[in-house]
């Protein structure tokens, strides 16, 4: 951390003050795209190139997704620079994605001079109004002396409590203005309580319900990961002996091969945990928000169960599912308190019911997905399963949105913490490629694999240029079914196979990859797959592998839209 000489105050520009604030917050990487209104900040950054790594993206949306990938794998705050007007508005999708998925991010946008605000000046946009609904906090700065305190507060808000994105909009005259620079980090301010006080009565009530339960079930989400509570959660699960199922954002919080991990919740989750949600007598939700893709029809969701909800954000309590016991607080601290009070137990007969349902799912779905007949096209599942075996489940998997996303999360056997990066709540196509760039920069020692559909890949395909210029090593897997696959599946099942504008006429991805100096390969036959995956995974530097998969393959099991989780279908 940069420390100023004692009693020596520097008079510098607002732009340089901003860079010094970022250094004080230990920022090492910025994802951004320069422009007129943020040019003074970029000029100041020029003098600090040896201390801050700036990644020049090809579109501002790519900057936000890269910052998300960086934040999700490292636990640090992702930082983004963009100019005013279209530069700022191009950030909004990524900011909204970070907000719903609780990702810490600070986006710094340039703005026209304060004298021009409200005049419809060139590249002026009301960034405060546009970003307010999708940020944890935002602020517009019009004077240089406001910068240090605003930056300190922004980083504190972004990373504390339930994390989220913050926007700082800085007018051009504030960037040029002078400030006597001093910096103090922020640790609290009035009216903001990031971590609620723990109610010991609720801790005891939760433990009593768990001890009395005959058929308890745990649902865990990203809150476990954000709290860095993997060890505390594992201790709780193992002492309680309770079957535990994950949301897609909670994936990798408990190893897939753990004997009490019973699989994935939700629309394309595993058969057992969905079915047994409406059979359990106590439902323990840890760091998850009862999203509609997990619950299905709320009027028929776990009505027989007592619900214990461990949650940091009071707004999530009773929002969708009424909690009989609400344990507010950071689960890294609340889980051990409950664990101390519960009895060490096994639920062998109850767990066996999950295993029996898994076998039913395996026979009806998984066997065919992982080892299809030779006369059938390559399936997404067999590709992911082979990658999982070849990497021993230890790679970072960054998924886009669609069928490949569900398949990757079902069939990659995650064995390491913070290994699953995806767009959960917003479901943003185009997320994976830039997010994988950020993930690799955030964890350069780990192998990062971007799993993408042919549709989502083309939404941010320009970020191949970022890979080329930055030299980042990302393995890019395109599972190409020549359709917008998830939409096509719905059209097949619920719209009488009327494939309305979902078939894709794709370019030659190998030629495009070559244009960015990224080596590539294409697999169309099953006998080519094994060697191609070895080449893909063992290549030095980035590599793009396109695998042609079945055009009309569907993802099952599935909870139809509006149905109860008990109505999950296998085919």
pLDDT digits (tens, 9 = 90+) for 539-553: 999 999 999 999 999
Cβ atoms of 81 and 29 closer than 8 Å: no
Decide if pLDDT at 31 tops 50.
Answer: yes
Catalytic residue among 76, 153, 172, 234: 172
Q: Does some domain include residue 186?
A: no
Main-chain phi, psi angles of 244, to 5 degrees: -130, 130
Catalytic residue among 39, 123, 279, 482: 123
Looking at 124, 146, 181, the residue that finishes a domain is 181
Cβ atoms of 34 and 402 closer than 8 Å: no
Q: Does some domain include residue 507?
A: yes
b/e map 20-54, b = 16+ CB within 10 Å: bbbbbbebebbbbbbbebbebbbebbeeeeeeeeb
Considering only CA atoms, which of 95, 91, 108 is closest in space to residue 44?
Answer: 108
Q: Does some domain include residue 285?
A: yes
**Helix or strand or coil: residue 11?**
strand
Main-chain phi, psi angles of 246, to 5 degrees: -115, 150
**Helix or strand or coil: residue 108?**
strand
pTM to 2 decimal places = 0.96
DSSP string, 487-551: HHHHHHHHSTT---S-B-----HHHHHHHTT--EEEE-SHHHHHHHHHHHHH-SS-EEEEEE--T
List the beta bridge partners of residue 311.
Answer: 328
Cα–Cα–Cα angle for 265, 218, 257, rounded to 5 degrees: 70
Catalytic residue among 10, 26, 122, 132: 122
Statement to judge: residues 168 and 219 lie in one domain: no
Give 352's Cβ-side CA count (13 Å radius).
Answer: 4
- Report the pLDDT value the prediction gives residue 3, as an integer from 0 to 100: 45
How far apart, in Å, are the Cα atoms of 112 and each of 42, 172, 272, 286, 501? 15, 6, 56, 45, 41
Structural domain of residue 477, as residue ranges? 371-548
pLDDT digits (tens, 9 = 90+) for 143-182: 999 999 999 999 999 999 999 999 999 999 999 999 999 9
pLDDT digits (tens, 9 = 90+) for 480-529: 999 999 999 999 999 999 999 999 999 999 999 999 999 999 999 999 99
Q: Does some domain include residue 189?
A: no
Statement to judge: residues 32 and 140 lie in one domain: yes
Statement to judge: residues 210 and 92 lie in one domain: no
User: What is the rounded average pLDDT for all residues in the chain?
Assistant: 96
b/e map 510-534, b = 16+ CB within 10 Å: eebbeebebbbbbbeeeeebeebbe
* 123 among known catalytic residues: yes
Alpha-carbon Rg of the chain, whole angstroms? 24
Statement to judge: residues 536 and 415 lie in one domain: yes
* 197 among known catalytic residues: no
- Report the pLDDT value the prediction gives residue 246, as an integer from 0 to 100: 98
- Report the pLDDT value the prediction gives residue 67, as an integer from 0 to 100: 98
Domain count, the chain: 3
Domain CATH number, residue 209: 3.40.50.1220
Statement to judge: residues 104 and 209 lie in one domain: no
The helix/strand count (H/E) of the chain reads as 24, 20
How far apart, in Å, are the Cα atoms of 356 and each of 240, 271, 275, 349? 21, 10, 12, 11
Cα–Cα–Cα angle for 280, 281, 286, rounded to 5 degrees: 75
Catalytic residue among 25, 60, 124, 463: 60
**How many C-beta atoms surround the C-beta of residue 115 within 10 A?**
12
Query: What is the separation of C-alpha 25 from the centre of its chain, rounded to a whole number of angstroms?
Result: 23
Statement to judge: residues 297 and 330 lie in one domain: yes
What is the mean pLDDT of the segment spanning 3-27? Answer: 85
* Percentage above 70 pLDDT, the chain: 99
CA gap 54, 51 in Å, rounded = 10
Considering only CA atoms, which of 76, 15, 3 is closest in space to residue 31?
Answer: 76
- Report the pLDDT value the prediction gives residue 7, as an integer from 0 to 100: 46
Phi-psi label, residue 318: left if phi above 0, alpha if psi -120 to 50, beta otherwise:
left
- Report the pLDDT value the prediction gives residue 5, as an integer from 0 to 100: 46
- Report the pLDDT value the prediction gives residue 1, as an integer from 0 to 100: 43
- Report the pLDDT value the prediction gives residue 373, as an integer from 0 to 100: 83
pLDDT digits (tens, 9 = 90+) for 185-241: 999 999 999 999 999 999 999 999 999 999 999 999 999 999 999 999 999 999 999
Statement to judge: residues 132 and 30 lie in one domain: yes
Q: Is 374 exposed, middle or buried (0-12, 13-18, 19+ CB in 10 A)?
A: exposed
Statement to judge: residues 407 and 321 lie in one domain: no
Looking at 151, 181, 211, the residue that finishes a domain is 181
Q: Does some domain include residue 565?
A: no
Statement to judge: residues 171 and 204 lie in one domain: no
pLDDT digits (tens, 9 = 90+) for 243-263: 999 999 999 999 999 999 999
Q: Does some domain include residue 564?
A: no
- Report the pLDDT value the prediction gives residue 210, as an integer from 0 to 100: 98
Q: Does some domain include residue 558?
A: no
Query: What is the separation of C-alpha 536 from the centre of its chain, rounded to a whole number of angstroms?
Result: 24
- Report the pLDDT value the prediction gives residue 8, as an integer from 0 to 100: 65
pLDDT digits (tens, 9 = 90+) for 436-455: 999 999 999 999 999 999 99
Domain CATH number, residue 115: 3.40.50.970
Catalytic residue among 486, 491, 504, 558: 486
CA gap 14, 385 in Å, rounded = 52
What is the mean pLDDT of the segment spanning 354-377? Answer: 94
Statement to judge: residues 138 and 244 lie in one domain: no
CA gap 348, 351 in Å, rounded = 5
Decide if pLDDT at 333 tops 70.
Answer: yes
Decide if pLDDT at 111 tops 50.
Answer: yes
Q: Does some domain include residue 148?
A: yes
Statement to judge: residues 176 and 206 lie in one domain: no
**Helix or strand or coil: residue 392?**
coil
pLDDT category, 372, cuts 50, 70, 90?
confident
Statement to judge: residues 412 and 273 lie in one domain: no
Considering only CA atoms, which of 122, 233, 221 is closest in space to residue 172?
Answer: 122
- Report the pLDDT value the prediction gives residue 452, as an integer from 0 to 100: 98
**Helix or strand or coil: residue 54?**
strand
Cβ atoms of 166 and 107 closer than 8 Å: yes
């Amino acid at each position: 951390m940069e420390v100023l000489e004692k009693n020596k105050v520097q008079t510098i520009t607002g732009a340089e003050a901003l860079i010094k604030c970022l250094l004080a917050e230990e920022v090492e990487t910025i994802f951004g795209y320069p422009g007129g209104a943020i040019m003074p900040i970029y000029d100041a950054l020029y003098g600090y190139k040896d201390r801050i790594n700036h990644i020049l993206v090809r579109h501002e949306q790519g900057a936000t997704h890269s910052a998300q990938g960086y934040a999700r794998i490292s636990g640090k705050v992702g930082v983004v620079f963009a100019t005013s007007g279209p530069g700022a508005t191009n950030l909004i999708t990524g900011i909204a994605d970070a907000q719903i998925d609780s990702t810490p991010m600070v986006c710094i946008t340039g703005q026209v001079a304060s004298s021009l605000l409200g005049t419809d000046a060139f590249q002026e946009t009301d960034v405060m109004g546009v970003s307010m609904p999708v940020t944890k906090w935002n602020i517009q700065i019009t004077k240089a002396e406001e910068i240090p305190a605003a930056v300190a507060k922004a980083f504190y808000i972004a990373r504390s409590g339930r994390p989220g994105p913050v926007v700082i909009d800085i007018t051009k005259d504030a960037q040029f203005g002078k400030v006597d620079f001093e910096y103090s980090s922020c640790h609290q301010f009035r009216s903001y309580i990031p971590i609620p006080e723990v109610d010991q009565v609720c801790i005891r009530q939760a433990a009593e319900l768990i001890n009395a339960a005959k058929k308890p079930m745990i649902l865990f989400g990203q809150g476990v990961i954000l709290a860095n509570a993997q060890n505390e959660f594992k201790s709780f699960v193992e002492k309680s002996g309770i079957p535990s199922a994950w949301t897609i954002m909670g994936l990798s919080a408990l190893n897939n091969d753990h004997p009490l991990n019973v699989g994935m919740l939700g629309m394309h989750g595993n058969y057992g945990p969905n079915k047994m949600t409406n059979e359990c007598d106590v439902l323990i939700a840890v760091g998850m928000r009862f999203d509609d893709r997990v619950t299905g029809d709320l009027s028929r969701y776990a009505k027989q169960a007592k619900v214990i909800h461990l949650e940091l954000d009071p707004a999530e309590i009773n929002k969708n599912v009424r909690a009989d016991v609400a344990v507010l607080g950071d689960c890294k601290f609340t889980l051990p308190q409950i664990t101390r009070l519960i009895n060490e137990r096994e639920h062998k007969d109850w767990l066996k019911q999950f295993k029996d349902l898994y076998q039913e799912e395996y026979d009806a779905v998984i066997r065919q997905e992982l080892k299809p007949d030779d006369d059938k096209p390559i399936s997404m599942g067999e590709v992911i399963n082979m990658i999982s075996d070849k990497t021993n489940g230890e790679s970072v998997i960054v998924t886009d949105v669609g069928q490949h996303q569900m398949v990757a999360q079902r069939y990659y056997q995650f064995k390491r913490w913070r290994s699953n990066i995806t767009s959960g709540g917003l479901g943003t196509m185009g997320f994976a490629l830039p997010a994988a760039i950020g993930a690799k920069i955030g964890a350069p020692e780990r192998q990062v694999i971007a799993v993408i559909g042919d549709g989502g890949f083309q939404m941010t395909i320009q970020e191949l240029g970022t890979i080329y210029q930055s030299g980042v090593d990302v393995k890019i897997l395109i599972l190409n079914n020549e359709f917008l696959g998830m939409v096509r599946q719905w059209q097949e099942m619920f719209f009488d196979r009327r494939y309305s504008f979902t078939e894709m006429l794709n370019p030659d991805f190998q030629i495009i990859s070559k244009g960015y100096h990224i080596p590539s390969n294409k697999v169309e036959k099953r006998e080519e797959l094994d060697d191609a995956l070895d080449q893909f995974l063992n290549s030095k530097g980035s590599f793009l592998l396109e695998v042609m998969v079945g055009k009309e393959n569907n993802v099952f099991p599935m909870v139809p839209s509006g149905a109860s989780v008990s109505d999950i279908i296998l085919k």
